[in-house]
Amino acid sequence: MDYTIIRYGSLYGERADHHNGVYRLLRQALEKGEIVHRGDGEEVREYIHAKDAAKLSVDILASKEFTNQHMMITGLERLKQKDLLKMIQEMSPN
């Protein structure tokens, strides 16, 4: 049986819920005016929007090139957690 396994990096998007890390950070910033982060901020992620990941998934599954392979879909840029936190802080009204 043919297969294609697709795994995803750190997703974000409009329909994210409380299980999503970016959603939780934004919600904390907006509701509490602060973000509680456990870590040193050096953690690195490759964020990708859910719509981009979905489009890439469809392209991968439609192509015979990826049959019987394991694919990892991530964003193009590596971003440290502390840099994401700084961006959220700059955008936050609080």
pLDDT computed for residue 94 by the predictor: 64
User: Which structural domain range is residue 14 located in?
Assistant: 4-91
How far is the C-alpha of 94 from the C-alpha of 34, rounded, in Å?
8
CB 89 within 8 A of CB 34: no
pLDDT computed for residue 57 by the predictor: 98
What 3-state DSSP class applies to 67?
Answer: coil
Provide the whole-model pTM: 0.83
pLDDT computed for residue 77 by the predictor: 94
From first to last of the 94 residues of the chain, give the pLDDT tens digit.
Answer: 999 999 999 999 999 999 999 999 999 999 998 898 889 999 999 999 999 999 999 999 999 999 999 999 999 999 999 999 999 988 887 6
Structurally, how many domains does the chain consist of? 1
In the chain, DSSP finds a helix count (H) and a strand count (E) of 3, 6
